[in-house]
Amino acid sequence: MSLTPPDAGSVADGTAHHEPIEDAWLVIPLFNEASVLREVITEARKTFPHVVCVDDASTDGSGVAAREVGAAVVTHPFNLGQGAALQTGIDYVLQTTDAQYVVTFDADGQHRVEDAAAMVRRAREEDVAIVFGSRFLDGRTKPGLLRRIILKGAVWITNQQTGLRLSDAHNGLRVIRRDAAQGLHLAQNRMAHATEIVLQLSRTKLPWVEHPVLIVYTDYSRAKGQSLINSVNILIDTIIK
Amino acid sequence: MLDQPLIKVILLVGIVGVTVLLTRSTAGVRHQAVRRLLLVGFVLLAAMAILFPPLLTQVARFVGVGRGADLLLYGLTITFLGYVAASYRRMRQLEQQNTILARQLALNHAVHEARHRPKDS
Ligand SMILES: Nc1nc2c(ncn2[C@@H]2O[C@H](COP(=O)(O)OP(=O)(O)OP(=O)(O)O)[C@@H](O)[C@H]2O)c(=O)[nH]1
Ligand SMILES: [Mg+2]
């Protein structure tokens, strides 16, 4: 298993030289991200023309904004949580398209499109069904000490429960091939879905790899993202089903 | 540690039972029946305790607790934990059904939209 992306060269300048990827859909869980959303989707659509946002009853017009920049939008009638939104988005792609790949992607600008594109390419070239993004395969991502400890704890628990050996578990960037996506039936509505996804994907027995990605921690993402105290809730949800 | 062995065993088994309840998968009809039987048993015990207070104390002595009132408190604690576990399960079930319903609604709408306005991308 090689840990460097096959196209490490093109990562440097950040622009996509490659053809738009037509057989993959980005699934973006969306909750109150109006301030960064347009830019994130516009940028993403240059590489991934097909985007579906699952708007979880946002109150800041995120859903409308996503439509305006060309994403398909599925709107939950009330807030169900990120896990529920991912499942909805995956169901949407499976039901309305014949896309080969589902890419789970965050709306808050923390994921890089070129990482997602490299992961799809890798899935194709190495013929694997699942590519998990990992921020811990190299030293680029700087989550901060406490967050790192908590994330590593989450990885440990996930590995215990699933029997896989991952280096990062709560990473929202994943490429899931259609056959693997069909094995997903997430019941964890909120943040504890991360372990559940790994568990259900591991049960498909399909081949997987981890791919190094850079998660960008900005002031925005830190302010808006998961508070560290919420990891208590995630932990309990993960253990008590 | 070893002075009240019986009651400690009973209480610990009770707590383990509640924990198992919390982590086990779906509750069915059998679960419901068991819950109701437990409730009836509980009511009978409560009535007995009220009608014959010395009896409660005797039972307490037998299992190694000083007073009947203490035994009652322990019993209540376990029952309360069990109640919490059971209602948590129930709540999760309802949440699950709610989610499936909401998702179906959202998807129906979006799929309809996708079919009738072919993608212009
Ligand atoms: N549908 C939906 N999406 C959500 C919800 N909460 C967060 N999201 C989205 O999920 C993505 C990631 O959310 P974050 O809160 O940043 O979680 P995270 O990236 O795992 O955690 P951080 O490392 O703290 O940023 C973003 O696209 C959010 O808009 C929710 O309740 N419903
Ligand atoms: Mg985030």
Distance between Cα A228 and ligand 1 center (Å): 13
- pLDDT for the residue A187: 93
For A91-136, the pLDDT digits (tens) are 999 999 999 999 999 999 999 999 999 999 999 999 999 999 999 9
Nearest to A170 by CA among A215, A109, A221: A215
B26 touches chain A (CB under 8 A): no
In this complex, which of A72, A77, A80 lies closest to B110 when CB atoms are compared?
Answer: A72
CB pairs under 8 A between A and B: 57
Q: Which domains does chain A have, with CATH numbers?
A: 21-239 (3.90.550.10)
- pLDDT for the residue A90: 98
Q: What is the mean pLDDT of chain A?
A: 91
Is a pLDDT exceeding 70 seen at residue A58?
yes
- Find the ligand nearest to A26 CA: 1
Nearest to B7 by CA among B52, B66, B47, B51: B66
- pLDDT for the residue B13: 84
The CA-to-CA distance between both ends of chain A, in Å, stands at 33
- pLDDT for the residue A18: 72
How far apart, in Å, are the Cα atoms of A22 and each of A96, B74, B112?
15, 64, 22
- Please give the structure tokens belonging to residue A233: 């809730």
Q: What string of DSSP letters covers B67-96?
A: -HHHHHHHHHHHHHHHHHHHHHHHHHHHHH
* CA gap B56, B49 in Å, rounded: 6
Distance from CA of A216 to the nearest CA of B (A): 28
| Cβ(A104) – ligand 1 distance below 6 Å | no
Phi, psi of A94 (to 5 degrees): -65, -35
Q: Parse chain B into domains and list their residue ranges.
A: 5-85
For B37-95, the pLDDT digits (tens) are 877 887 888 788 788 878 888 888 888 888 888 888 888 888 888 888 888 888 999 99
Distance between Cα A108 and ligand 2 center (Å): 6
Per DSSP (E only), the strands in chain A are 24-30, 51-55, 72-75, 101-104, 130-134, 174-177, 208-212
**SS3 call for A198:** helix
Percent share of chain A, pLDDT over 70: 93
- pLDDT for the residue A224: 85
Are residues A96 and B96, on separate chains, in Cβ contact within 8 Å? no
Contact A106, A188 (CB under 8 A): no
